Structure 1
Amino acid sequence: MKPPNHPMDRPRGRARVRGLAAVLAAVAAVAVGVAMPAQAASTLKASAEARGRYFGTALTRGDLGITAEVNLAAAQFDMLTPGNEMKWDATEPSRGSFNFGPGDQIVSFAQSHGMRVRGHNLVWHSQLPAWVGGVALNQVQGVMENHITTEATHYKGKVYAWDVVNEPYNEDGTLRQDVFYKAMGSNYIAIALRAAHAADPDAKLYINDYNIEGINAKSNGLYSLAQSLVAQGVPLHGIGFESHFIVGQVPSSLQANMQRFADLGLDVAITELDDRIQMPADSSELQQQGTDYGKVVNACLAVSRCVGVSQWGVDDGHSWIPGTFPGYGAAMMWDSSYQPKPAYTAALNALNSGTSSPSASPSPSSSPSSSPSSSPSPSPSSTPIGGACSATMKTTNSWPGGFQSEVTVQAGSASVGGWTVKWTWPGGQSISSLWNGTQSVSGSSVTVRNASYNGSLAAGASTTFGFTANGTAATPTLTCTSP
Structure 2
Amino acid sequence: MKPPNTGTERHRTRARGPATALAAIAAATAVALNLAIPAQAASTLKAAAEARGRYFGTALTRGDLGISAEVNLAAAQFDMVTPGNEMKWDATEPSKGSFNFGSGDQIVSFAQSHGMRVRGHNLVWHAQLPAWVGGVPLNQVQGVMENHITTEATHYRGKVYAWDVVNEPYNEDGTLRQDVFYKAMGSGYIAAALRAAHAADPNAKLYINDYNIEGINAKSNGLYSLAQSLLAQGVPLHGIGLESHFIVGQVPSSLQANMERFAALGLDVAITELDDRIQMPADSSELQQQGTDYGRVVNACLAVPRCVGVSQWGVDDGHTWIPGTFPGYGAPMMWDSSYQPKPAYQAALSALNSGTSSPSQSPSQSPSQSPLSSPSSSPSSPVPGACSATIKTINSWGGGFQSEVTVRAGSSAVNGWTVKWAWPGGQSISSLWNGVSSGSGSSVTVRNESYNGSVAAGASTTFGFTANGAAATPTATCTSP
What is the TM-score normalised by the length of structure 2?
0.72
What is the TM-score normalised by the length of structure 1?
0.72
Contact 1:317 1:336 in 2 (8 A): yes
- Unpaired runs of at least 5, structure 2: 15-28, 374-481
Q: Confirm or deny that 1:242 pairs with 2:254.
A: no
Find 1:15's aligned residue among 10, 22, 29.
10
SS class of match (1:317): coil
Where does residue 77 of structure 1 map in the other structure? 78
Q: Which amino acid aligns with 1:353?
A: S
Cα deviation 1:9-32 (Å, max 9, x = unaligned) = 64367734799xxxxxxxx99971
Cα deviation 1:309-343 (Å, max 9, x = unaligned) = 00000000011111111100000000000000000
Contact 1:31 1:342 in 2 (8 A): no
Quick one: percent identity of the two aligned structures? 88
Where does residue 330 of structure 2 map in the other structure? 329
Where does residue 357 of structure 2 map in the other structure? 356
Please show how residues 180-329 of structure 1 align to structure 2 within 5 Å.
180-329=181-330
Deviation at 1:38, TM superposition (A): 4.3
Alpha-carbon distance between aligned partners in 2 of 1:311 and 1:48, rounded to the nearest angstrom: 13
SS class of match (1:56): strand
Moved more, 29-38 or 286-295: 29-38
SS class of match (1:35): coil
Alpha-carbon distance between aligned partners in 2 of 1:17 and 1:286, rounded to the nearest angstrom: 22
Alpha-carbon distance between aligned partners in 2 of 1:298 and 1:18, rounded to the nearest angstrom: 35
Please show how residues 49-448 of structure 1 align to structure 2 within 5 Å.
49-367=50-368, 368-369=370-371
Deviation at 1:301, TM superposition (A): 0.1
Contact 1:9 1:127 in 2 (8 A): no
Deviation at 1:197, TM superposition (A): 0.1
Equivalenced residues, count? 356
Q: Which amino acid aligns with 1:11?
A: P
Alpha-carbon distance between aligned partners in 1 of 2:82 and 2:365, rounded to the nearest angstrom: 15
Q: Which amino acid aligns with 1:281?
A: A
Contact 2:204 2:367 in 1 (8 A): no
Contact 1:17 1:316 in 2 (8 A): no
Cα deviation 1:207-236 (Å, max 9, x = unaligned) = 000000000000000000001011111000
Alpha-carbon distance between aligned partners in 1 of 2:191 and 2:89, rounded to the nearest angstrom: 19
Structural RMSD (CA): 1.8
Alpha-carbon distance between aligned partners in 2 of 1:109 and 1:70, rounded to the nearest angstrom: 9
Alpha-carbon distance between aligned partners in 2 of 1:362 and 1:137, rounded to the nearest angstrom: 38
Q: Which amino acid aligns with 1:114?
A: G
Cα deviation 1:409-434 (Å, max 9, x = unaligned) = xxxxxxxxxxxxxxxxxxxxxxxxxx
Contact 1:124 1:166 in 2 (8 A): yes
SS class of match (2:166): strand
Alpha-carbon distance between aligned partners in 2 of 1:178 and 1:316, rounded to the nearest angstrom: 33
Q: Which amino acid aligns with 1:356?
A: S
Contact 1:9 1:126 in 2 (8 A): no
Alpha-carbon distance between aligned partners in 1 of 2:371 and 2:92, rounded to the nearest angstrom: 28
Distance change (3 Å), C-alpha of 1:166 and 1:185: same
Alpha-carbon distance between aligned partners in 1 of 2:154 and 2:211, rounded to the nearest angstrom: 27
Q: Which has the higher contact order (CA 8 A, sep 6+)?
A: 1
Distance change (3 Å), C-alpha of 1:42 and 1:202: same
Q: Which amino acid aligns with 1:15?
A: R
From the CA coordinates, give the structure whose radius of gyration is larger: 2
Alpha-carbon distance between aligned partners in 1 of 2:345 and 2:5, rounded to the nearest angstrom: 23
Q: Which amino acid aligns with 2:352?
A: L
Question: Which 4+ runs in 1 deviate beyond 6 A?
Answer: 28-31
Cα deviation 1:228-266 (Å, max 9, x = unaligned) = 011111000000000000000000000000000000000
Q: Which amino acid aligns with 1:90?
A: A
